[in-house]
Structure 1
Amino acid sequence: MEPTLDALQDHRHELYERFAVAQVAVSADGREVSFMGPIEIGVEVGGFAVIEFEGARRVAVQVREVRMVEREGPQLDFTVRDQMAEIGVVAASVRPLMRSLGGSATTLGEFDGDFFLERRAVEPFGERPIRPATEDEVALIAEGLTGTAAAIEIGVLRQAPSVPATLRSTGFARHTFMCGQSGSGKTYTTGGLLERLLGSTELPIVVLDPNSDHVFLGSCDPEDSSPAAERHREVASGVHVARARGNGAEHTLCLDFSDLDLDIQALLLRMDPIRDLDDFRALRQVTATLTVPYSVDDLEAAAAAHHDTERLAARIGNLRIGEWDLWRREGERSAVEYDVSRARCVIVDVGSLSRPDERTAVALAILGRRWAGRRDREPVLLVIDEAHNVLPATTEDPLLAATAELGALIAGEGRKFGLHLFVATQRPGKVHPNVVSQCDNLVLMRMNGAADIEDLSTLFSHVPAPMLHRATGFGLGQALFAGPIAPVPLLAQVGTRVSPEGGGDVPTTWAG
């Protein structure tokens, strides 16, 4: 007779009880740890676990990998009554498939009473019991790993929601790559990070904001009396916003034509140094006679004044570049002159400009001016949101290609001069590879594409691949922080921000 499903499950539960898998960990070098246990062991990738020794000694580890292990169980011999068989009784043998968990971890340190002492290696050990860390133990581990280093609180740890997730402030002296699909909370998280950097550090910040997402970073709900809001109010006056005319901003987003390098001016005028030999030579000659700052109109007038440079004046007039709303007018100040050492943070709302080439010209001017002044060795965090629009991996637009090359140059050489990048995008393959490859920090939010995860595994090989793959299951505002900004890779739920978010999705009121 065929047994019922309940009876089969009861038999399997009995097998797992009689042939239980030991919940133990071992290490041959005291650094890398292997463990195994039943399905119910309770550990997760990125979480903390505790290995117990004699005398109440406890060693903390971080789980790097968890995998399902399938094995044949013991041979079971039994007889069944079969009404269809001639003899009525049938003998049978079977080896049921049994499942357990195995994985790997790395040593973090040891507990000493109410303290945690960071040690990345202990003496090798044989099989010792392992279990998930309690919330109190996680708090001790987090406090011990942070130590006395300057830190900012970004949210809470996913494993222990009462334990703050803290990032090392000095870690932002390395380039940071932030990646997350649309709707993952990437913009909200960026704003929260900027708030905390403003409130807890003295690092000047320049933000290239293509979607007007951060234009309200310097404001706060007047009815919010939380400690975070009070801290932000103390620094909010140092946030300056530059927007195109007509947006009511304190600074008008504008440039002088002379803010652009000669090669960039030539790109705007659609000329090539080799193909357009005469026109390019005329551009060099005329600009050499002008006093900085000069405008497009100044250049056109000077070119028209001489017979041998009239073609240049005609080119400028035909392209109508002088009609761009971007150019500085009397009484205004060029965007390249913003002094972030005093302002602390400048939001450059390139999204307020109507023309794509105007937005690219602003990015080129600001990044170019920072690179030109690199030997002043003044630290600054250059935040490039939606970086695929500024530093694309591939483009047929010569202006964008020049911007991407400049970004790659800053990524490769800028850190030693205090030029630190924070690059945010939706997919790693959309940003210039020489920019992404120079980023040591990773902030990873929800991702859907397996191919994107594989790309990140190659680019950020210091982060365990199973941790990266967890991003496919992240909820809103959940993130992985790894690199110099974190003592160990951290899985966190990002906390609330106190400044309003400027952008946001269009409401789906049409659905009703």
Structure 2
Amino acid sequence: MQLAVNKGPFETDIVPERRDVAQVADRSIGRVLACNGARATIGTTLPRSGTPGPDTWTIGRMISINLGRSRIVGIVYEIRAVKESWDEQADNAVHIDVELLGEVLDNEGGRPYFQNGITTYPAIGAIAHRIRAGDLALVHDLGARTGVAIGHLTQDATIPATVCIEDLLSRHFALVGTTGVGKSSAVALLLRKAVAARPKLRVLILDPHNEYAHAFPDKAVTVDAQSLDLPFWMFRLEEFADVVFRGRPAPDEIDILREIVAAARARYRAPSAQDLTRDLGTSLLKRPLDPNAPRDTAPKPGASGDTPVPYRMTDAFAVIDELTGLHEIRYPRAALRSLKVRLEALYGDPRYHFMFARANLVESMAPVIGQIFRIPQHGRPICVFQLAGLPADVVNSVASVLSRVAFDLAMWSQGSFEVLLLCEEAHRYVPADQALGFAPTRQAIARIAKEGRKYGAYLGVVTQRPGELDPTILSQCSTIFAMRLANDRDQQIIRSAIADASTSTISFLSSIGNREAIAFGEGVATPMRMRFAELAPHELPAMAGASVQDGAGRREPGLEELVNRMRGGSW
């Protein structure tokens, strides 16, 4: 049966709508007045008395345009009255501008499905209305891909917002938003869903604010400055030099440190005092090695400045003393003395005990990697690495070591160990300005972003200032959750990073609510405006288990205890 609909000057025959019994009868019918292929303008009237129904012609909501055999789906991005003033005595004409996203079609079996892009454009006069709940679910259906619910659609709370964890992880993801919009709780939710869907996944969180330990009481171990063992000999030369020279080394100082480390490694591995003297002399005098020399005079394995082979700081001090006492001085004695003072200060500083105090109790990286990367998991696949308790001078180097080891672990295990590195406040480690940040950290994170997928090393990026993040890193994140962003430059970065981040969609970022996000990319079926599910109070991130506002009810430490904490003492 055909139904004639009379709406002003238009009269069109359309197929009867197959709405559910519970479907709202009035879905704000309007008519297409213009279409340019990417956008359409819909004309309708609003009554002079009363207000429109809920969710009717609202910015950011999806609508459909009925073509009979198909229904075009669009998103509202602007609403305006035709007249410049509002008439209280008569109905008012309104124009709604929508961006066309795709269309709902029926397959051969009569089952509807959604496809991106438009094959048949609407004619002038085609009927437009609020989208059906069934069609809205189809638009965000992942199809054959397995999805997990992380919340619900903003437009319809009965429809779950689903993501494909496989694509979310393997193609990397980013979550951006200004302070206070719920980024941390959204991250906690995503990580819980990820480890539930991928039981073998290991997650390492670089936590600069010490807030995530409270979010995973049953899934995570916490590593802080007191429980951490990250031996100094695991640091590459550039990473160790950044700690020693506070990021401002002179060229001669790097050369001295390189030679000292190489000699100390050789001394540590020397089988006898005689071999030690011979190896040390060869290193210090820089004599060419004899290719026909006996085996015990050849360079020992791992004697370079970058291979993670143990050595002792006492040997490094001895090497400096011997270099200083040589008759033929290649380095200024003042530089040698200055380096020794720096190393001795680090070695005796309680804030650096995680690097030096227990460094020579083990000769293998295995315990360190096992603790940080959860091998074996023992039911706790997440490691919250608290950076706030570390000296500021060492944070970049520690992040570099952890990022590098994460990639190496996945690569050399041939993908049997899947590792997700989550970088909170990622703009600190990979800033947009190449002159800022620490080059080894940038290189290690960039390597995961560019090559990690092949080996099972994944990257999660969290930042409140995407405009300050290296755009290359953000472009490697194929799924982005954009929460509220008021800065125009930050919005522009998101628009340029994601191909389907249209102008109309990005314009919502300055006004969406807390826990809301617009999700783009490979992990979702189509760009969607959604609200993250609310976590239980014991699953929310917090500062050491309590917010700053809760501090009024906490014990106030004494002055000596507070000073001890600030100097790196026990908490």
TM-score range, shorter chain: 0.7 to 0.9
Name the aligned partner's letter for residue 280 of structure 1: R
Aligned with 1:501 (options 527, 541, 548): 541
TM-score, scaled to structure 2 = 0.68
User: What's 1:253 paired with?
Assistant: 228
Is 2:217 the counterpart of 1:242? no
Which of 150, 153, 175 does residue 154 from structure 1 map onto? 150
Q: Which residue of 2 aligns with 1:51?
A: 65
Query: Which segment drifts farther, 367-376 or 253-262?
Result: 367-376
Q: Is the 8 A contact 2:495 2:503 kept in 1?
A: yes
Are positions 1:61 and 2:69 aligned together? no
1:439, distance to aligned residue in structure 2 (A): 2.1
Q: Which amino acid aligns with 1:171?
A: D
Structure 2 CA distance for aligned equivalents of residues 136 and 48 of structure 1: 12
Q: Is the 8 A contact 1:210 1:351 kept in 2?
A: yes
* Structure 1 position 294 matched with structure 2 position 310: yes
Q: 1:502 to 1:279 in 2, by over 3 A?
A: same
Q: 2:431 aligns with which of 372, 392, 410?
A: 392
How far off is 1:374 after superposition? Answer: 4.9
Residues 370-385 of structure 1 aligned to structure 2 (within 5 Å): 370-376=406-412, 377-378=414-415, 379-385=418-424
SS in 2 for 1:300: helix
The structure-2 alpha-carbon separation of the partners of 1:265 and 1:312, relative to structure 1 and needing over 3 Å to count, comes to: farther
Q: Residue deviations 1:44-64, cap 9 Å, x none? A: 55533222234xx44251427
Q: 2:104 aligns with which of 102, 109, 112?
A: 109
Partner residue in 1 for 2:342: 318
Contact 1:256–1:327 under 8 Å retained in 2:
yes
Q: CA deviation at 1:255?
A: 0.5
Compared CA separation, residues 500 and 103, structure 1 to 2 (3 A): closer
Kept in 2, the 8 Å contact 1:387–1:423? The answer is: yes
Give, in angstroms, the shift of residue 299 of structure 1: 5.0
How much is the aligned-residue C-alpha RMSD, in angstroms? 3.5
Pick from 422, 425, 435: which aligns with 2:473?
Answer: 435
Alignment correspondent of 2:561: none
User: In 2, Cα distance between the equivalents of 1:288 and 1:466?
Assistant: 63
Cα distance change of structure 1 residues 163 and 295 upon mapping to structure 2, 3 Å threshold:
farther
Indicate how the Cα distance of structure 1 residues 101 and 462 shifts in structure 2: closer, same or farther if over 3 A, else same: same
State the AA in 2 paired with 1:502: A
Aligned match of 1:185 = 182
Q: Which residue of the other structure, out of 285, 289, 293, is the alignment partner of 2:263?
A: 285
Q: 1:374 to 1:105 in 2, by over 3 A?
A: same
More deviation, 406-415/40-49: 40-49
Distance across 2 between alignment mates of 1:130 and 1:425: 39
Which amino acid in 2 is paired with 1:264?
Answer: E
In structure 1, C-alpha distance between the alignment counterparts of 2:153 and 2:375, rounded to whole Å: 33
2:137–2:159 Cα contact (<8 Å) kept: yes
Aligned residue among 214, 217, 236 for 1:216: 214
Change (3 A) 1:298 1:62: farther
What is the match of residue 363 of structure 1? 399
Secondary structure of the equivalent of 2:387? helix
What amino acid sits opposite 2:102 in the alignment?
T
Q: Give the whole-Å Cα distance in 2 for the aligned partners of 1:193 and 1:262.
A: 36
TM-score (norm 1): 0.75
SS in 1 for 2:549: coil
The answer on 1:303 being equivalent to 2:319 is: yes
Residue deviations 1:406-451 (CA, integer Å, cap 9, x gap): 3233323333332221110111122233322322221111112123
The number of aligned residues is 441
Q: Residue 350 of structure 1 corresponds to which residue in structure 2? A: 386
* 1:195 alignment partner AA: R
Q: 1:325 to 1:116 in 2, by over 3 A?
A: farther
Question: Which amino acid in the other structure matches residue 506 of structure 1?
Answer: V
Structure 1 stretches of at least 4 aligned residues deviating more than 6 Å after TM superposition: 17-21, 25-29, 395-398
Q: Secondary structure at the match of 2:508?
A: helix
Aligned residue type for 1:24: V
Match of 2:163 among 134, 142, 167: 167
Q: How far is 1:269 from its partner?
A: 2.5
**Alignment counterpart, residue 201 of structure 1, candidates 193, 198, 201:** 198
Task: Return the match for 2:129 from 106, 131, 144.
Answer: 131
Q: Are the counterparts in 2 of residues 436 and 459 from structure 1 also a CA contact under 8 Å?
A: yes
Q: 1:334 to 1:312 in 2, by over 3 A?
A: farther
- Aligned partners of 2:428, 2:473: CA distance in 1, in Å? 13
CA deviation digits over 1:7-63, x for unaligned, max 9? Answer: xxxxxxxxxx9789951288788xx56342236593455533222234xx4425142
Deviates more, 1:458-467 or 1:485-494: 458-467
Q: Structure 2: which amino acid aligns with 1:468?
A: I
> Which residue identity lines up with residue 194 of structure 1 in the other structure?
L
Give 1:118 deviation, angstroms.
Answer: 2.9
Give the superposition deviation at 1:505.
Answer: 5.0
- Give the unaligned 5+ runs of structure 1: 1-16, 74-96, 220-235, 246-251
Aligned partner of 2:563 in structure 1 is none
1:339–1:410: structure 2 CA closer, same or farther, 3 Å change rule? closer
After TM superposition, give the deviation of residue 201 of structure 1 in Å. 2.3
1:303, CA displacement in angstroms? 2.6
Alpha-carbon distance change, 285 to 109 in structure 1, aligned in 2, over 3 angstroms: farther
